Copies of this chain bind each other. A is one copy, B any other.
Amino acid sequence: MTIKFAKRMNELKASEIREILKLTQQKDMISFAGGLPAPEAFPIEAMKVVAEKVLTEHGEAALQYSTTEGYEPLRQKIAARMNRLFQTTVDESNVLITCGSQQALDFSGKLFLDEGDVVLCESPTYLAAISALKAYGPRFREIAGDGQGMILKELEKALEEEKNVRMIYVIPDFQNPTGISWSLERRQDFMELVNRYEIPVIEDNPYGELRFEEERLPALKSMDRKNLVVYTSTFSKTFCPGLRIGWLAATPDIFSKYVLIKQGADLCTSMRSQMEIAEYMESYDFNANVKGLIDLYRRRRDVMVDMLEQTMPAAVSFTRPGGGLFLWVELPDYMDALELLSICLQQKVAFIPGASFFPNGGGKNTLRLNYSNMTEEKIREGIKRLAAVIRSQLKAADASI
């Protein structure tokens, strides 16, 4: 039997990582691998109340098909919250509810990309954005970053050199995987450049609300004079992932095309889940819930950074994120994080090798650590084990430091 699949399937291959990660689900594993929120912070009791109320008051509508655009009261609340926190000026007519923000990434590929078109992205960048977009056959050109965001000289060079740039994909707040957040100035300068070249930007902002210390910075979308930015976010990190509710916000011309795509892709998102989040935001203190997560994740970040500082040799560097769920580790050039992982798994500690976050290869000596999903105690123990394995692999010159 010789079934012919679409050409795009040559690009979409099962990653060896995924197979390895199945091992991380063992009970005694200390896993810094996934991107999971802390389940002990899920508002389970509130959800029971909310679920009962929605079924009592809107049962038939909650369980029926709904409009593709989404539940209007929730779209209003999302727009208001975006405007308050990130200085945007959107309203409910800009907001399309999606099945997590991952769906907004898939739709963006479908909307903007023909085979061979160019996507500009950070280097490294979110691995599931790479898989979502790859289905549409683009070429990725990675733009290096510094601690403040994308390096704009490199971006401008790419915009000059590449003829078919159709999208710039960025995560300006506590990037996945590095944890780096763009400075205000970098955001402004980036948008100047984008407005000049008139290229659509996908601003992926799942972590922006989880800023641990300073004031939140305005979204790129708030500087979007030419309506080029499609902003996407999710309730997965500020509430819980299991409801699968995300959204995108775009100007009407672009919004209407996303609606057409969503009709073909899955008709609509669960009305019940949308009503539940809207009801929760109405009856409970959503900000307090986010504040609780910030406090929890800040402590975990502190513990992880402290432990890294205490245990890692000088040849290993790492980021110190001001928010979000992840930090990024660079090992000496000669080390391979994938090999390291197989040793670490025997020691019952897991992470994601960084190579998966580079669409064009490279990054073998990097890795991503998640600190949101493990207790402080496990973070301490896990980093100890990780450091011990890394030290065991160091060349003598590095080990002596």
Q: A residues near B, CB below 8 A?
A: 1-9, 12-14, 34-37, 39-40, 42, 44, 47-48, 51-52, 55-56, 59-66, 99-100, 102-103, 105-106, 110-114, 117, 128, 131-132, 134-136, 166, 198, 200, 226-228, 236, 240-244, 254, 256-257, 260-261, 263-273
Do residues A48 and B42 form an inter-chain contact, with CB atoms below 8 A?
A: no
Q: Which of A3, A35, A113, A236: most chain B Cβ within 10 A? A: A3
- 7 contacting pairs across A/B (C-beta < 8 A): A2-B198, A35-B65, A42-B63, A48-B55, A63-B241, A102-B265, A131-B263
Given contacts A65-B236, A110-B135, contact A244 B264 (CB under 8 A): no
Distance (whole angstroms) from the CB of A205 to the closest CB of chain B? 17
How close is A110's CB to chain B, nearest CB, in angstroms?
6
Contact A3 B254 (CB under 8 A): yes
Cross-chain contact A271 with B257 (CB below 8 angstroms)? no
Q: Is the CB of B243 within 8 A of A63?
A: yes
Is the beta-carbon distance between A3 and B135 smaller than 8 angstroms? no
Which residue in chain B gives the minimum CB-CB distance to A54?
A: B51
Taking the nearest CB of chain B, how far is it from the CB of A192, in angstroms?
15
Chain B residues within an 8 Å CB radius of A7: 114
Contact A3 B102 (CB under 8 A): no
Contact present for B59 and A42 (CB under 8 Å): yes
**Do A272 and B111 form a contact, CB below 8 Å, given A44-B60, A198-B1, A265-B106?**
no
Report which of B102, B134, B266, B273 forms a contact with A267, defined as CB distance below 8 A. Answer: B102
Question: Which of A226, A256, A265 has most B Cβ within 10 Å?
Answer: A265
Instruction: Please classify the interface of chain A as helix (H, G, I), strand (E, B), loop, or mixed, using the class held by over half of its residues.
Output: helix
Top 7 nearest A-B pairs (CB, nearest first) are: A63-B242, A39-B60, A44-B59, A63-B240, A131-B264, A132-B264, A51-B51
A267 / chain B contacts, CB cutoff of 8 Å? 100, 102, 128
Complexed CA–CA distance, A114 and B115 (Å): 11
Given contacts A36-B64, A131-B263, 4 further A-B contacts (CB under 8 A): A1-B226, A99-B99, A270-B270, A270-B273
Q: A12-B264, A52-B51 known; A40 and B60 CB under 8 Å? A: yes
Q: Are A270 and B257 in contact (CB under 8 A)?
A: no
A40, A102, A117: most-surrounded residue (chain B CB, <10 A): A102
Return chain B residues, CB-CB under 8 Å to A103: 265-266
CB–CB B63/A132 < 8 A:
no
Q: Report the minimum CB–CB distance from A27 to chain B (whole Å).
A: 14
Contacts of A111 in B (CB 8 A): 5-6, 9
* Nearest B-chain residue to A104, judged by Cβ: B266
B60 and A36 form a contact (CB under 8 A): no
The distance in angstroms between the C-alpha atoms of A339 and B95, with both chains bound, is 33
Query: Do A1 and B65 touch across chains, with their CB atoms under 8 A apart?
Result: no
Pick the residue among B5, B9, B64, B243 that contacts A272 (CB under 8 A). B243
Please, which residue of chain B has its CB at the minimum distance from the CB of A56? B48
Task: Specify the chain B residue showing the minimal Cβ separation from A55.
Answer: B48
Question: How many angstroms between the C-alpha atoms of A242 and B54 in the bound complex?
Answer: 12
CA distance in complex: A34, B200 (Å):
35
In-complex Cβ contact of A65 among B48, B106, B242 (8 A): B242
Q: A102-B267, A135-B110 are in contact. Are A261 and B12 (CB under 8 A)?
A: yes
Choose among A5, A132, A228, A264 the residue with the greatest number of B CB atoms under 10 Å from its CB.
A264
What separation, in Å, do the CA atoms of A102 and B61 have in the docked complex? 20
A242 x B270 contact (CB < 8 A): yes
Task: Check if A271 sits within 8 Å of B242, measured CB to CB.
Answer: yes
Inter-chain CA distance A254–B64, complex, in Å, is: 31
In the complex, chain B residues whose CB is within 8 Å of the CB of A273: 270, 273
Q: Report the bound CA distance from A132 to B263 in whole Å.
A: 8
